[in-house]
Amino acid sequence: MAEALAVSLLTQRCEGCGSELAPRLLTCPSCRKLVHGKRLTQLAADAQAASQRGAPMEALALWREALELLPPDTAQHAQVTARVTALSQQADALGLAAPLAEAERKRSGMPKVLASMGAVGLMLWKFKFVLALLLGKGKLLLLGLTKASTLFSMMFAVSVYWTVWGWRFALGVVACIYVHEIGHVAALRRLGIKASAPMFLPGFGAVVRLKQNPVDEREDARMGLAGPIWGSVAVVVTLVAAVLTGWKVLGAIAHFAAWMNLFNLVPVWQLDGSRGFRALARQQRWLVVAVVGATWFATGENMLLLVGGVAAYRALLTPSSEKGDLRTLVEFIALVVGLGALGWAAQHWTGATAAL
């Protein structure tokens, strides 16, 4: 009886011909009708409504959901992919300027008191959206701490690192890893891609599991490099605190965090650098190799040797993007130079190293 109930829950019938359908089928094998036709119609209507009322990010998330319900080899899948790509590029172009762009679009809705103040009023109106952006980033940093899987795995990671390096270094390292992972979450949210909260794996850092796939190399690069970008901010904050307080442990944490984020730029397997490298043309890859070599020569940060060696292999022997992506190139180079300099500064200005 229980087995029969379980089977009935796992199967459904085609609305067109009544055939019994196996789980996860997207089209009926008998009549070729879309299994989720009604849901797809509703998603399309909701996405179009979201676009009409000026909510492109909501529309992007809805179209992505629709994409999961369409067979990859159909014309509908290609059409929805094109919509997702266009909306994703729109989100990419706005980036952090989205709140300010929204302020310009809603300028007519500015309170009369501010409107009467002219340029000063407009500046204050824009500042409201900048403040909202900053508060949003703060809320995002706290988001993972509300998830049991993140919080308990983070506590476990702290306890493991504590036994090796002591509680101060353990807390600092885990906090920097957390900020790095929230960077991925922020990029995924902006692109409308569903993902899990960060999960810590002591000895391996932490991971964020994707529930939807990027539609192109550009999205993959944005998602991947967002982690080191946010991680670099954590390094800067920690290094400034080390200089102001003179605490050696903060300098050591900053050096370790710079080293960790540089390691993630190694373009291999599923590391962040590999996601970024997929969006680079061959000439762009060689430019990255040259910058990595120059940064290593200037800073002596040996992790750059690993980044540069693997990058040279990828540039020489693996397929590259045909057009390349300029923003990815700029971000990759900025991260290499910035993290190399931060690692050098953490070691020399504070007299501390990551090896305690």
Average the pLDDT over 91-97 and give the result.
68
Q: Examine the pLDDT at 42 and tell me if it is beyond 90.
A: yes
114-173: pLDDT as tens digits = 444 444 444 444 444 444 444 445 566 676 677 888 989 999 999 999 999 999 999 999
**Predicted confidence band of residue 2 (pLDDT cuts 50, 70, 90):** very low
DSSP at 34:
B
Q: What is the pLDDT of residues 307-348, one digit of tens each?
A: 999 999 999 999 999 999 999 999 999 999 999 999 999 988
Q: E strands along the chain, which residues?
A: 12-13, 20-21, 199-201, 205-207
Q: What is the predicted pLDDT for the residue at 264?
A: 97
Q: Report strand pairing: 12-13 vs 199-201.
A: unpaired
- Here the tokens at position 23 are 């789980």
With a pLDDT cut of 90, the percent of the chain lying above it is 62
pLDDT of amino acid 139:
64
Express each pLDDT in 197-229 by its tens digit: 899 998 888 999 999 999 999 999 999 999 999
Amino acid symbol at 77: H
Residue 282's nearest CA partner among 327, 335, 319, 334 is 319
Question: What pLDDT score does 181 carry?
Answer: 95
292 near 301, Cβ under 8 Å? no
Give dist(CA 351, CA 239) in Å, integer.
12
Q: What is the pLDDT of residue 25?
A: 84
Select from 255, 127, 233, 151 the least CA-distant residue to 186. Answer: 233
Q: Is the Cα torsion angle 88, 92, 95, 99 positive or negative in sign? A: negative
User: What is the reported pTM?
Assistant: 0.84
Geometric angle at alpha carbon 80, from 23 and 102, rounded to 5°: 125
Q: Which region among 145-149, 178-182, 185-189 has the lowest average model confidence (pLDDT)?
A: 145-149
Residue 111 confidence (pLDDT) above 80: no
d(CA 342, CA 228): 13
Helix axis angle, 303-317 to 326-349, nearest 10°: 160
Contact yes or no for 185/198 (Cβ under 8 A)? yes
